[in-house]
A and B are shown apart, each in its own frame.
Chain A
Amino acid sequence: MNNSGKSKKRRVLAVASGGGHWVQMLRLRPAFLNSEVHFATVDAAAAADVAPAPLYTFRDANRDTKVRLILSTLKIAAIILKVRPHVIVSTGAAPGYLAIRMGKLLGARTMFIDSIANANELSLSAHMVKRHADRLVTQWPSVAEKSGAVFRGSVL
């Protein structure tokens, strides 16, 4: 039902944890040129990297920090409800999994790109998101062969 001729830009929520996950997301910025992109990460200073695109922050968390994980989940839910993205793209890690699970509930299309750090096997977040993401991408051909994720190049 997208042939109505409307040229409205798709709204994209780009979600990444800090450190390498965020740096990899920044290397994908050219992919967002024709969309209305909103970013979400853990570090408010990252706003300078993506301005004028809006940036939302959530507390960093992983499976070893249960309470923070719950707080992060709530914050990410609030961000998704505010942005109402058509598409969610994540470069990991656990917060990307959470965003994709919640985004699916609201009808978003979702893509999870596993970090280039995972050269031998998918990350735990990628394994967990596999059944839920519309597309799961690995940055290593050998990982694609054995994991069911697709290989379509890398950030390097």
Chain B
Amino acid sequence: MIFVTVGTQLPFDRLLQAMDDWAEINPDHHVIAQTGVSNLQTSRIETRPFVNASEFKTLVKQADVLVAHAGMGSILTAVELGKPVIIMPRRAGLGEHRNDHQLATAERLGHLENLQVVENARELPMALRKALNAKSFAAMSEMISDGHRRLVGEVRNFIADPAWASATEDLELAA
């Protein structure tokens, strides 16, 4: 199964249409799409406007490949579960987002082993072929990088900082 997700904030029919076109010439593959607000008319793709966080995770787990906008929820979930993911960044110039930060995300995270970036519908079929043939990637859910460990430590130290009790805490301790 291929799971397609475009998030919930703004429509992204360019990606959905591209997947629908792909599904037409690849009828053996089951495609499920979380569409958000969309004008897509399709009988080839199973569509759901919204899915909650746990349904989302289940669908990514079940999928052979995740195809997504360049949203961090999609990318991080794919990385955690070791799934091949293809991302198509939304473009502000096409009315797909308020700014082009998804292009920056794609550019900066393009080095991730399980991630492919496509700019448009034309590049999608080849990326899908590659992803469907990919060996499985190591799930990162249990792994923690140096950078991740550092950020967790920063948050933990901020919370624990003995020199910096909050005003609320002082009142409670005095009581």
Interface residues of A (CB under 8 A from B): 1-4, 6, 8, 10, 12, 18-24, 27-28, 30-35, 43-46, 48-49, 60, 62, 84-87, 89, 106-109, 111, 113, 115-120, 135, 137, 139-140, 152-156
B173 contact set on A, CB distance < 8 A: 1-2, 4, 6, 8
Query: Which residues, 35 to 63 on B, are CB-close (under 8 Å) to A?
Result: 52-55
- Which residue of B9, B55, B146, B151 is within 8 Å of A139 (Cβ)? B151
B152 touches A28 (CB 8 A): yes
Q: Which residue of B lies closest to A60 (CB)?
A: B8
> In the complex, A18 Cα to B164 Cα: how many Å?
30
Q: Which residue of A lies closest to B79 (CB)?
A: A156
Query: Which residues, 123 to 175 on B, are CB-close (under 8 Å) to A?
Result: 144-156, 158-174
Kindly provide the distance from the CB of B160 to the nearest chain A CB, expressed in whole angstroms: 7
B170 touches A117 (CB 8 A): no
Query: Which residues, 66 to 108 on B, are CB-close (under 8 Å) to A?
Result: 70-77, 79, 101-102, 104-105, 107-108
A20 contact set on B, CB distance < 8 A: 71-76
Interface residues of B (CB under 8 A from A): 7-9, 52-55, 70-77, 79, 101-102, 104-105, 107-109, 144-156, 158-174
B53 touches A86 (CB 8 A): no
Kindly provide the distance from the CB of B82 to the nearest chain A CB, expressed in whole angstroms: 14
- Which residue of B8, B53, B101, B154 is within 8 Å of A117 (Cβ)? B101
A153 touches B147 (CB 8 A): yes
- Which residue of A12, A111, A117, A155 is within 8 Å of B71 (Cβ)? A117
A35 touches B159 (CB 8 A): yes
A12 touches B151 (CB 8 A): no
Kindly provide the distance from the CB of A143 to the nearest chain B CB, expressed in whole angstroms: 10
B79 contact set on A, CB distance < 8 A: 156
Kindly provide the distance from the CB of A154 to the nearest chain B CB, expressed in whole angstroms: 5
- Which residue of A10, A109, A111, A117 is within 8 Å of B72 (Cβ)? A117
Kindly provide the distance from the CB of A13 to the nearest chain B CB, expressed in whole angstroms: 11
A2 contact set on B, CB distance < 8 A: 162-163, 165, 169-170, 173
Kindly provide the distance from the CB of B146 to the nearest chain A CB, expressed in whole angstroms: 7
Q: Which residue of A lies closest to B156 (CB)?
A: A31
Q: Tell me whether A86 and B156 are in contact in the complex, defined as CB-CB below 8 angstroms, given that A117-B101, A119-B107 are known contacts.
A: no
A111 touches B53 (CB 8 A): no
A156 touches B155 (CB 8 A): no
